Amino acid sequence: MNPLPLSYYQHPDVVHLAKDLLGKILCTQIDGKLTTGIITETEAYCGRNDKACHANNNKRTARTEIMFQQGGHAYVYLCYGIHNLFNITTNVDGLADAILIRAIEPFKGIETMLDRRGKVKPDKTLTAGPGCLSKALGIDRRLYGSPLNSPFIWIEDSDRTIMASEITTTTRIGVEYAEEDALLPWRFYLNSSTYVSKR
DNA sequence: CTAACGATTCGCT
DNA sequence: GCGAATCGTTAGT
């Protein structure tokens, strides 16, 4: 276990971090089982001036509270009453930014992921999609607020260097309600990966 | 207390 | 392509 330092998440530009996280390794150890995957798709959400963000306009509620703490924590919430969506909080204390992880490419613990997902073969349906990857990695709301250097969930750097030309930049998914902010180019994915969610 | 609504996924057509 | 599933969060009565 060699987690990124928590200082990494204090960066003031959530859009920069959303891109920088591509290629890094998301790791969990839940129920004693290690599962890891390469981050292939992310979306940035900003707590100020972004109608798609739960904490927009500095809206502070029990659910969004963790986003207002200093960056480097897990923000996990239930979507549609069914899916646990995993986000990484960023920025300094008081500024509520977060990055939604939308897809990973399975790396270690693939048997465990298949088991959790009720599948027999690893293909993109295993971990492409925010609800899918959470289920595969065993992430649920019990991890809400966990620091990203905990023994249960963390992110590691990789040797791989990601070139700007390897990244596709586009609009976020499922945020039509955000009106003009739905047009912000704040979704990023590795264009070489098959593990990317639909559009 | 009540009601409306999702940062989605899956199965069926 | 379409619609159901399913429940915590939120805002309003």
Which of A79, A127, A85 has the alpha carbon at shortest distance from A103? A127
A11 strand B contact, CB < 7 Å: no
Q: Confirm whether any atom of chain C, the nucleic acid strand, is less than 7 Å from CB of A59.
A: yes
Instruction: Summarize pLDDT for A75-109 with one digit per residue, the tens.
Output: 999 999 999 999 999 999 999 999 999 999 999 99
To the question of pTM greater than 0.85 for the whole model, the response is: yes
Task: Give, as one character, the DSSP assignment of residue A73.
Answer: B
Mean pLDDT of A167-176: 97
**How confident is the model over A107-158, as pLDDT tens digits?**
999 999 999 999 999 999 999 999 999 999 999 999 999 999 999 999 999 9
Look at residues A94, A126, A90 and name the one whose alpha carbon lies nearest to residue A107. A126
* A51 CB closer than 7 A to any strand C atom: no
- pLDDT of the residue at A198: 81
Query: What is the 3 state secondary structure string of A90-154?
Result: ECCCCCCEEEEEEEEEEEECHHHHHHHHCCCCCCCCCCECHHHHHHHHCCCHHHCCCECECCCEE
Q: A14 pLDDT band (50/70/90 cuts)?
A: very high
